[in-house]
Amino acid sequence: MNEKQLAAEKSIEFIKDGMIVGLGTGSTVFFLVNKLAESVKQGLNITCVSTSNQTSELAKSLGIKILNLNDVDQIDLTIDGADEVDKNLNGIKGGGGALLYEKIVANASQKVIWIVDSSKFVEKLGRFPLPVEIISFGSKQLFNRFDELGFRPQIRKNGSNNFITDSGNLIVDLHLNEIDDAIILERQIKLMHGVVEVGLFNNIADTVIVGKEKSTEIFSRK
């Protein structure tokens, strides 16, 4: 069993009968959804809210009930992956392109757990390109602004076409290498006109489950 699967399956222990559960997006969540479907078939009674069309389709195909976020008052627990996590449990997310919906669902949740393999647990954020979701109108000017700031922007592609998010926007990946202050950077980027959301998830995860070789390690926010 690989580290992603170890972390994903460990997170199932936090899901209780009757919960409304938020499901994230990405390769680690794929393991979660498949294992969760087994528990549902064995009688676990839960309702889920998804952060992407991709996750919704997978969950529904496996018999997991999915509701629209607007149809629930709040989410008991959201489990999601992350592209990088630091020792303060801040992270970069959006490698799968679902950062906007992931942040909305996380903010509607009483508890947030991230599941990652050991390579994602880092000393300092920034080696993974930082995703920024932007609207297409004025995207060239915003791209140039990122370039002027030394952010080394790159429009995300899907083959030869621009990658389009579930909400119809573009993603610019910023190649920063190192982020000195994630909270200040998040605020700086979000104030730029045309930015919808930035993939810095600060003070959001309550717990991070890290798959390490053949076991897991759990970190919780102090």
Residue type, 81: G
The token duo for 173 is 């990946």
Q: Which of 87, 209, 57 is nearest to 23 (CA)?
A: 57
Who's near 27: CB < 8 A, 6+ residues apart? 4, 81
C-alpha span between 46 and 103 (Å, rounded): 21
| Cα–Cα distance list, 211 to 10, 108, 214 (Å) | 9, 26, 7
Q: Is 102 considered catalytic here?
A: yes
C-alpha span between 99 and 198 (Å, rounded): 7
C-alpha span between 166 and 181 (Å, rounded): 29
Contact (CB, 8 A) for 90 and 119:
no
Which one of the listed residues 3, 102, 133, 197 is annotated catalytic? 102
The token duo for 84 is 């990088």
C-alpha span between 80 and 78 (Å, rounded): 6
List active site positions. Answer: 102
